[in-house]
Amino acid sequence: MNGRSLLDVLASARRTRQPAVLADVKFRSPRDGALIDLDRLDAFLDALVEGGVEALTMPTDPVYFAGGVDLAAKLRVRTELPLMRKEFFCTTSQLDESVDVGFDAVQLSINTTPPDQLERLREHAERLGLEVLLGVHTRGQLRTALALDPVAVAVNNRNIVALELDPGTVRVTEMLAPEVPSDVLILSESAFFTADDVARAAAAGAEGVLIGTALAKSDDPARFVRTLREGAWLCPR
């Protein structure tokens, strides 16, 4: 055990009633094109740590997000923050690889994981010691996820199946959060640009928010993280 836990980060946010801020290190997005140049990666990571982000995620898909496990390895050596892999998971070998690279958690999104593989992949991940968040974007997907008795759900405000070409809105979290039982943690993901967006997700009961594009585009990511925390207060569900 290495002591890094994304679930602990979310649980601790619930106790302190201050939402955790997580950074999605995304090199490219289908919507916005190139986001992070490799030559500024270390400085970017240092700024995120300085700003106080509590965990990192990374889409490792090379085609749409310009990610890769080689790039994830760079994150692993640079920071000790909990690290979650986002991927279009369909095989157990992708999970074995995730452990080898040093990921602590994986997100299995209901709408991208083959339905007949979902439980098998989740069990395999947990057997390997990976934390598992179930990703949802709609009410129907949330129902599917809750039937699996998750510790945490990731509510994606954008539709990953549309490759996040939709603008996304925190309204998705506001709609779904009331339907999540109070013992299930919520990470609200995507389309965060202002402190008001973060405050809305927290008011809806999300223990954490995940921000990618806005951080990558910020001239001062450390300061941006600090401003995002201002005024956000977690409402118990």
Rounded to whole angstroms, how far apart are CA atoms 95 and 105?
A: 10
- With binding defined as CB under 6 A, does residue 197 bind ligand LARABZUK? no
- With binding defined as CB under 6 A, does residue 103 bind ligand LARABZUK? no
Contacting residue, 61, 97, 126, 166, with ligand LARABZUK by CB under 6 A: 61
Contacting residue, 79, 94, 173, 190, with ligand LARABZUK by CB under 6 A: 190
The beta strand positions in 157-232, using DSSP E, are 185-189, 208-211
- Window of 39-47, 126-134, 140-148, 205-213 that interacts with ligand LARABZUK by CB under 6 A: 205-213
| Shortest Cβ 224–ligand LARABZUK spacing (Å) | 12
Tell me which residue of 164, 167, 158, 154 sits closest to 208, measured CA to CA.
Answer: 154
Contacting residue, 4, 76, 86, 229, with ligand LARABZUK by CB under 6 A: 86
| Shortest Cβ 190–ligand LARABZUK spacing (Å) | 4
Number of H helices and E strands in the chain, helices first, is: 11, 10
Contacting residue, 21, 160, 172, 228, with ligand LARABZUK by CB under 6 A: 160
Contacting residue, 55, 69, 87, 174, with ligand LARABZUK by CB under 6 A: 87
Residue nearest to ligand LARABZUK (CB): 212
Rounded to whole angstroms, how far apart are CA atoms 26 and 15?
A: 29
**CB-based contact 2:82 (threshold 8 Å):** no
Let me know the angle formed at the C-alpha of 86 by 80 and 89, rounded to the nearest 5 degrees.
130
Concatenated DSSP letters of 51-101: HT--EEEEE--HHHH---HHHHHHHHHH--S-EEEE-----HHHHHHHHHH
Q: How far is CA 109 from the centre of its chain?
A: 11
Contacts with ligand LARABZUK, 4-33, as mask; x by CB under 6 A: --------------------x-x--x----
Parallel, antiparallel, or unpaired: how do β-strands 33-34 and 83-86 relate?
unpaired
- Window of 8-16, 121-129, 190-198, 221-229 that interacts with ligand LARABZUK by CB under 6 A: 190-198
- With binding defined as CB under 6 A, does residue 189 bind ligand LARABZUK? yes
Rounded to whole angstroms, how far apart are CA atoms 47 and 230?
A: 18
The footprint of ligand LARABZUK (CB under 6 A) covers 24, 26, 29, 59, 61, 65, 86-88, 107, 109, 112, 135, 156, 158, 160, 168, 189-192, 210-214
